[in-house]
Amino acid sequence: MNIDKQKIRNRNQNRSTVVCRNGIVCTSQPLASMGGVDILKAGGNAIDAAICANAILCVVEPMSCGPGGDLFAIVWIEKDKKLYGLNASGRSPYDWTLSDLQALGLTEIPTYGPLSWSVPGCVSGWDALRNRFGTAGFDTLMEAAIEYGNEGFPVTPIIARSWNQIDPHKYQFLGRTFAPHGKIPEFGEIFKNPDIARFFDIIARDGAESFYQGEIAERIVKYSQANNGRFSMRDFQDHSVDWINPVSSNYRGYDIWELPPNGQGIAALQILNIIENFDMASMASNSADQLHLFIEAKKLAYEDRAVYYSDMGFAEVPLEQLISKEYAQARAGLIDPQKASTNVTPGKLGGPSDTIYLSVADKDGNMISLIQSIYHGFGSQEVPDNLGFALQNRGHLFSPNPKDLNKLEPHKRPFNTIIPGFVTKDGQPVFSFGVMGGDFQPQGHAQVLMNIIDYGMSPQQAGEQPRVAHLESSTPTGHKMTDSGSVGFERNISEKVKRELADRGHKILSDSGVFGGYQGIWRESNPRRYYGASDSRKDGCAIGY
C-alpha cells in the first residue's frame, strides 16, 4: 500500500512534510507538539501523548480549547487492527427546558453566559482514553501543562491575535484570568495561568472523578447557582462518555471515517458521496468547475444537516440513508453544473468556532485523531471562580423550535461541530486528520481529501492549498438559508475563478478570509513511516523522531 513517491514529495513553497519512523505529534502549538513527543520518547503511546498535548494546549491556546469543553476522537489500535470512536461531549442541564426559555422571554439560547452551558466532556474523554488504551497516569500526563501554567510560556503570534476576542472588562473572571490588570498578552509576552496549574494539580492527584463527583464539580455548580445558571451536581454525576463505532463511506477506493451525530462528521461523507458522481480529477484544483460542484454538494449536505442531525439518544436519525451512495446519486442529480442553486431543500427521508485538532502516531502503529473545543473563542466567556479555564457555550447550538430534532431538552447532547477524521484503505490505516473551524469543518475535510485523492497532493501540500467556504446554509439551530448563501475565498484563488463563479449565480465575498486549521499524519507500511503535516494557518508544527 505504498503511496506514489511523487505524491509524497509534492510541495508548495512552504513547509516540508515531516517524515519519521518512531512517532510523531502534530498540533497547533509547538510546545504541545514537543510535549507529546517527550511522552512518546519516555515510553508512552500515542494516546498518552495526545492527552498530554491536549492539556498543554489548554494552557497555551485557551481561547480554543480547555477542560470546560468537549472532546471527540477516532483511535486506531494496532494490535486490534481496529478503529474505535469516542464521543466525550456533554449534555444540557436537567433543569433547562424550552418552557424555561420561553418563561425568560427568550426566542433562542443565548450565545454567551450561563444559559449557553452544557456539561464539559473533555476530562472524561481523557479519562476514558487513558483507562482503555493509555499507559501513563494523570500525574505524568498533566506535568508539562502544570509547568507551563506556573512558569509561563511565550505567546505565539496567531494565538496572540486570537486572544483579542475578549473584552477584559465585560466578564469579571475571564478578564482576571486571561487579561491580568486589564491587559491582553501580546506576541512574545510570557503569560502565566497559575489557576489552571492548580486545577491540573487536582486532576493529577484525584483523577477525573474530582471533575464530575468532587471538588471541581462543586465549584462549577456553586458558580452556576450564583450566576443564574442551571447546573446541578446531578448534571455532573450523571455525565458519561460513549465508545461508539465510527461510520464510513468509500471515496474512490479510500474508506473515509467519521463519527455519527450529535456531531456533523457525516456531512463530510455526504459531500464526498455527492461529488464522487463527477470526474473531479479532470478539472483543475480550485477551478471554477471544481469549486462550483463542491459548493453545490456542500449546500445539499448542509440542508440535511440542519434537519436530521441530532443526539441519536433522543431522535431517529436516518444515518444509513444519509450516507448511502444511492441517496448521494439522487442528490447529485439536483446539481446544475452551470448554475448556483437558490432553493435548496433537505432530502425526503424516513425518520424524524474555535477548536484545536491534533494527531499522534507511535512506534507500535497506534494512531489517534483527536479534536477538542470550547466552541466560540473563550467559549461562554464565563470562567468559574479561580479554575483557570472558560466553560464552553455549546448549548447555544440547540434549536428553540419544538418541532426540530435538535430542540433543547433536559440531559441531551446539543448538535456539535467538532469532528475528527480518519482514512483507511483495504482495512489498513492510511491517514489521521482533522480541520478546525466550527461550522466549516466538513467543508475542510472534503477539500483536503479531494486535494490528496483527486489531485495527488502530499499531506502537507493538501493542507496548504487555498480553501473556499460556503456560508449561510441552514443550521440545526433553526436558521434557514435564503437565496444561495455566499462564498468566501482565501488568498491565491484567482479573480478569474471568482468572476466565473459569480457568473453562475454565486454571491462572492470581496474580502479574503482564513478557513480552518489542519493537521494530518499519513502512514506508509513496509517499513512503517509517518508523514506529518501541520497547517501554516496556525502556530503549530509536526514533530517526529
Q: What is the pLDDT of residues 430-468, one digit of tens each?
A: 999 999 988 899 999 999 999 999 999 999 999 999 999
Strand arrangement of the beta sheet that strand 24-27 belongs to:
242-244, 82-88, 70-77, 367-375, 354-361, 24-27, 541-544
Instruction: Give 279-323 pLDDT, tens digit per residue.
Output: 999 999 999 999 999 999 999 999 999 999 999 999 889 999 999
Q: Which pLDDT does position 448 carry in this prediction?
A: 97
Closest Cα partner for 345 from 334, 356, 336? 334
- Note the pLDDT tens digit of each residue in 378-413: 999 999 989 999 999 999 999 999 999 999 999 999
What Å distances lie between residue 392 and 74, 238, 299, 334, 533, CA to CA? 22, 18, 28, 38, 28
Q: How far apart are CA 69 and CA 267, in angstroms?
A: 22
The DSSP secondary structure of 103-131, one letter per residue, reads HTT-SS--SSSGGG-----HHHHHHHHHH
- What rounded mean pLDDT belongs to the chain? 93
The CATH number that domain 244-354+425-544 falls under is 3.60.20.40
Give the C-alpha separation, 27 to 40, whole Å: 15
Locate 86 and state its grid cell: 469516542
Q: How far apart, in whole angstroms, are the C-alpha atoms of residue 253 and residue 269?
A: 14
Q: How many CA atoms lie within 13 A of 53 on its CB side?
A: 37
Active site residue 342: no
Catalytic residue among 355, 417, 424, 475: 355
Can you tell me the distance from the alpha carbon of 475 to that of 439, in angstroms, rounded to the nearest whole number? 9
Does this model's pTM top 0.85? My answer is yes
Q: What are the domain boundaries of the chain?
A: 244-354+425-544
pLDDT tens sequence across 330-379: 999 999 999 999 888 777 665 446 689 999 999 999 999 999 999 999 99
Collect all residues with Cβ–Cβ distance below 8 Å to 348 and sequence separation of at least 6. none
Question: Do the beta carbons of residue 330 and residue 345 sit within 8 Å?
Answer: no
| Confidence band for 2, pLDDT divided at 50, 70 and 90 | very low
pLDDT of 8 higher than 70: no
